[in-house]
């Protein structure tokens, strides 16, 4: 009897194991040969990801729009929806995901993942962003789950597109137009992102994470604000954190330079100049040279020469510092002294591009002209 019981248990295990085995799905081609695809692009720092399946025309030219893709909303004979839009692709429903808040055709849409549907009309399509991104196709579509609806005009395509695809076009730093392309039609919709505010929100979040434990992060955030003339008071706090005692920026030229840049953007130029004086002892050869170059471009010749001299004293008689002295003296109109340093730099140039530059310096100075 015991043997019979054990045999029954073994048979049962084998039976249930077999059932589990046959219910597992092997990797195979998608239904109907509709290729799975995804496309991701950034708008500003916002990731936009579209996942979809690609039906193809398959010799059905002229029978896609209004026939295979029905107009408006239809009862598909399956699921709970009696008025379903097109799934904007094939097989599973198409999804679109935004890593930050965006605007679609000027209408706000929070960050998140959405099911994407299209109610087709040859004159004006309705695009639907649904909070339900997990159901199959549009068989279970419910307007109660709509997060946003917008209307757009479809436009004829220049050439026929065999396999449905999504592309990003008309791109700017803060926007892009997504184009659903299939057969001889394009359905476009514009995505806008508030680049500066999303960037600031990202900085505020990341500066509270492990990324905020280095002075470089605080200086980067402060410099971004200064360059974009935005959020300057908070940027000054960030810059002060960068040069503070906690994160190692107190003896960093870029950290002090970040604070000066913010002060300059605030219109506090005299304070910015004093901060840069504090920064000079911490600058390396390249940092000092290129800072002085910004001064020559700003037509601040006297100030530039002072920085070039500091660099020369720290790194005497080197190619870059000799070239810097040539620029500095040229900026204040002393072309004779400038020529002497240019000739020294010419003799130290080790590659042809720098030889060409210093040769041009010498020729220009001999003509009594500024080389900056």
The yes/no answer on whether domain 305-372 falls in CATH 2.60.40 is: no
Residue 109 bridge partners (DSSP): 102
pLDDT confidence of 34, banded at 50, 70, 90?
Answer: confident
CATH architecture of residue range(s) 194-282 = Alpha Horseshoe (1.25)
pLDDT confidence of 25, banded at 50, 70, 90?
Answer: low
Return the pLDDT at 24: 52
Return the pLDDT at 151: 98
- pTM above 0.85? no
Written in H, E and C, the secondary structure of 301-366 is HHHHHHHHHHHHHHCCCCHHHHHHHHHHHHHCCCHHHHHHHHHHHHHHCCCHHHHHHHHHHHHHHH
Q: Quickly list DSSP for 216-277.
A: HHHHHHHHHHHHHT-SHHHHHHHHHHHTSTTTT-TT-HHHHHHHHHHHHHTT-HHHHHHHHH
Structural domain boundaries in the chain:
31-193, 194-282, 305-372
Q: Do domains 194-282 and 305-372 have the same CATH topology?
A: yes
Burial class (CB in 10 A: 0-12, 13-18, 19+), 361: buried
pLDDT in tens, 158-190: 999 999 999 999 999 999 999 999 999 999 999
Which whole number is the average pLDDT over 253-273? 96
pLDDT in tens, 40-91: 999 999 999 999 999 999 999 999 999 999 999 999 999 999 999 999 999 9
- Decide if 371 contacts 327 (C-beta within 8 A): yes
263-291 burial by CB neighbour count: b if 16+ within 10 A, else e?
Answer: bbbbebeeebeebbeebbebbebebbbeb
């Amino acid at each position: 009897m015991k043997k019979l019981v054990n045999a029954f248990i073994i048979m049962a295990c084998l039976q249930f194991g077999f059932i589990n085995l046959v219910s597992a799905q092997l990797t195979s081609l998608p239904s109907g040969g509709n290729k799975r695809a995804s496309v991701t692009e950034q708008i500003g720092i916002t990731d936009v990801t579209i996942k979809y399946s690609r039906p193809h025309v398959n010799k059905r030219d002229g029978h896609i729009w209004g026939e295979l893709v029905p107009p408006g909303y239809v009862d598909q004979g399956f699921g709970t929806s009696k008025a379903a839009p097109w799934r904007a692709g094939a097989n599973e429903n198409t999804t679109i995901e935004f890593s930050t808040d965006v605007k679609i055709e000027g209408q706000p849409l929070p960050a998140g993942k959405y099911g994407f549907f299209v109610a087709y009309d040859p004159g004006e399509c309705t695009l639907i962003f649904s909070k339900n991104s997990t159901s199959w196709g549009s068989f279970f579509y419910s307007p109660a789950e709509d997060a946003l609806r917008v209307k757009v005009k479809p436009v004829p395509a220049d050439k026929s597109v065999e396999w449905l695809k999504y592309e990003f076009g008309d791109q700017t730093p803060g926007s892009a137009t997504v184009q659903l392309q299939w057969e001889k039609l394009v359905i476009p919709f514009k995505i806008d992102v508030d680049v500066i505010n999303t960037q600031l929100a990202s900085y505020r979040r990341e500066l509270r994470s492990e990324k905020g434990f280095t002075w470089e992060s605080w200086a980067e955030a402060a410099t971004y604000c200064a360059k974009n003339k935005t959020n300057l008071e908070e940027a000054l706090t960030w810059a002060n954190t960068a040069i503070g005692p906690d994160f190692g920026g107190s003896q960093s030229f870029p950290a002090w330079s970040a604070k000066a840049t913010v002060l300059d953007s605030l219109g506090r130029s005299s304070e910015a100049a004093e901060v840069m004086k504090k920064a000079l002892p911490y600058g390396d050869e390249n940092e000092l040279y290129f800072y002085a170059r910004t001064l020559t471009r700003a037509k601040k010749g006297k100030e530039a020469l002072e920085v070039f001299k500091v660099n020369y004293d720290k790194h005497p008689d080197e190619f870059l510092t000799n070239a810097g002295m040539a620029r500095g003296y040229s900026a204040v109109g002393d072309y004779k002294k400038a020529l002497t340093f240019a000739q020294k730099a010419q003799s130290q140039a080790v590659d042809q591009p720098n030889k060409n530059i210093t040769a041009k310096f010498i020729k220009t100075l001999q003509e009594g002209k500024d080389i900056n």
